[in-house]
Amino acid sequence: MTRRDLSVLVAGAGIGGLTTALSLHAAGFEDVRLVEAAAEIRPLGVGLNILPNAVRELTELGLYEALAARAVLTAEFVLYHRSGGQIWREPRGLAAGYRWPGNPVPKKGGEPQPPNPFKEGPAATHLNSLLATLGK
């Protein structure tokens, strides 16, 4: 059995589901079906912390430039107590030795949404759809 013979179902078209579907498609899976309960795919307007391992995957899919345009490059994480004294400090992303940065995306920029190439055909995205049961 080859990747062309397999059908893959991804439930949820948020950043995780769309990225999974794109990764499977890039890996040679042709029949990738994406189901989403919402009537449309759109950013939720929430902040999101994208860690280096996820940035690596988005970079491999050619999406880093779109992410970097909205993100804040993080060099360190610092905690302070309510009087202003520092409690903890540690490097993050490139400053911590990773090959990819960590990229928090602020709430006002909206959630970075990977493109949806699965508009029609066997790999279509099915909106207004719920996955109730799954069997052979």
pLDDT tens, residue by residue, 42-68: 777 777 888 899 999 989 988 888 888
- For the question of whether the overall pTM of this predicted structure is more than 0.75, the answer is no
φ and ψ of 12, to 5 deg: 105, 125
CB 73 within 8 A of CB 93: yes
Residue 107 pLDDT greater than 80, yes or no? no
Residue 135 pLDDT greater than 90, yes or no? no
pLDDT for res 87: 97
| Sign of the alpha-carbon dihedral angle for 43, 7, 121, 130 | negative
The residue extents of the domains of the chain are: 1-42+113-136, 44-111
Which superfamily, per CATH, for 1-42+113-136? FAD/NAD(P)-binding domain (3.50.50.60)
